[in-house]
Structure formats: C-alpha cells, structure tokens
Structure 1
Amino acid sequence: LTQMLQLTLQHGICDESCTALADASFLLLQLKDVDGSKHLAELALILLEKLQANKYLPRVYSSIYAGVFCWYNHLKQSEKWLWQGYQEGLLIGDIEFAFVNAINSLQNRFLYGAQLTL
C-alpha cells in the first residue's frame, strides 16, 4: 500500500492509484481517522470515474462501500454499490473481489434485517 501511494506521488496518477487511495482510506478508518478516510474514499471514487478504470471497480468498491461508507450512511445505501462491484467483478474476471462485494452485501443485509437472497 505504501509503495503504491509513493509511486503515485512520485510519478503521477494512474489507474492503480484509485485502489491505493481506497485501501489507504480503509486503513485510515482502522486508525480512527474517519474524516481523512472519507476524504480519500471520495478521491478514489473520483479517480475511478475520471480514469474509467473499471477493472479496479470491484476492489475500490469493496474497500469504500463495505468500510468507509458505512460510517456515514445506513448499511442499506451501500447495497446497490456492492452489487455493482459484484457484477462488474464477474464481467471482468476479478472473481475474488466480486465475491468480496457479494459477501459484504449479504453481511450488511443480515445486519439491517433484510431477506438474504441472491
């Protein structure tokens, strides 16, 4: 993670920068810097959209919508984004993060009392 951030700072922004920022936002959340985490998460989402780096969408969404987003919004609001991460992951072949998004979505549904269906 630190290597990815360091390369971004030294050489500029690339497609992989959005994953570095999303992971850094999740790390800041673990260090109790919720505001800094939210700021980096928003920046990661902006980069993801501007660079059209859809191959990293499942990874970015899993960090942001299963972690950071939940500190500011109801769990139900992340469901749409987590399922989009799941579907995009299946489309591009990122099976690992497709299912990370699916598991997080089902976990959130369990926590807020929704029916657990796929």
Structure 2
Amino acid sequence: EVLVISLLTRMIHLTLTYGICEASSFAFATVAFLLVDFDREGACRIGDLALSIAERLDIQNSLPRVYFCIYGGVHHYFERTEDSLEYHMKAYETAMRVGDVRNAVVNR
C-alpha cells in the first residue's frame, strides 16, 4: 500500500514537473480510485481530469485501465450503473483491439 502511494505520488510529481504523458492519465485515475472513500467530490474531479487527459491524448493503451478506475470505482457513487456500461464496453473493445486481454476481461 505504501509502495503504491509512493509510486503514484512520484508519477503525479513527474507530470507536474515535466508535463503530461501516457502514464499521467492512469496515475490520476488510480489516485481518484483510491481517494473516493475519503473525498468523493475530489475523486470525481481528479477522475474527470484523468479522462480528459486520456481522451485528449487519444491514449488507446491506457484507456481501458482509466475507464475501469473511473467508471468502476468512482462514478458509480454519482451515476447509475447503467450509465457506465457504455464506457466499460468501449474499454473492452479498445483493450481487445490493442491486445490487453487482462483489462478487457476486467471491463467486460
């Protein structure tokens, strides 16, 4: 647990220092996933940031992981489960297209 938090802190620090990269969206999505039990509104804002980074940079490899963290772990506190299914299917299709079977199964 401490290692995960340390790695995420480092990833966020690198993003703020050097700019956005492919790993940035997943780092923010994971932070949102972990934060949701403590600060739901903050987690939602960070999750939206992660989604906007992933979609803006058109990061196909990270998109299934980002969608899982956000729609599987954060947005269900604010939205109906049915509203997230579309994104899980999109993540599944993207994961299968890029060969990420593990995240395809998680999003299915």
Q: TM-score, normalised by structure 1?
A: 0.82
Question: How far did 1:86 drift?
Answer: 0.9
Query: 1:54 is paired with a residue of what secondary structure?
Result: coil
Work out which of the residue numbers 23, 29, 32 in structure 1 matches 2:36.
29
Paired letter, 1:22: A
Question: How far did 1:3 drift?
Answer: 2.1
Gapped regions of structure 1 (runs ≥ 5): 103-118
Are 1:13 and 2:16 an aligned pair?
Answer: no
Write the distance in 2 (CA, Å) between the matches of 1:90 and 1:49.
18
Number of aligned residue pairs:
101
Q: TM-score, normalised by structure 2?
A: 0.89
Q: 1:116 matched to which residue of 2?
A: none
Write the distance in 2 (CA, Å) between the matches of 1:8 and 1:95.
27
Gapped regions of structure 2 (runs ≥ 5): 1-7
Structure number with larger C-alpha Rg: 1
The equivalences for 1:54-69 within 5 A come to: 54-69=60-75
Are 1:101 and 2:101 an aligned pair?
Answer: no
Work out which of the residue numbers 76, 95, 98 in structure 2 matches 1:70.
76
Are 1:85 and 2:91 an aligned pair?
Answer: yes
What do the CA deviations read for 1:21-68 (whole angstroms, capped 9, x no partner)?
1001101113x2000000001111111111111111100000001011
Greater shift, 8-17 or 34-43, is seen at 8-17
| CA RMSD, Structure 1 to Structure 2 (Å) | 0.9
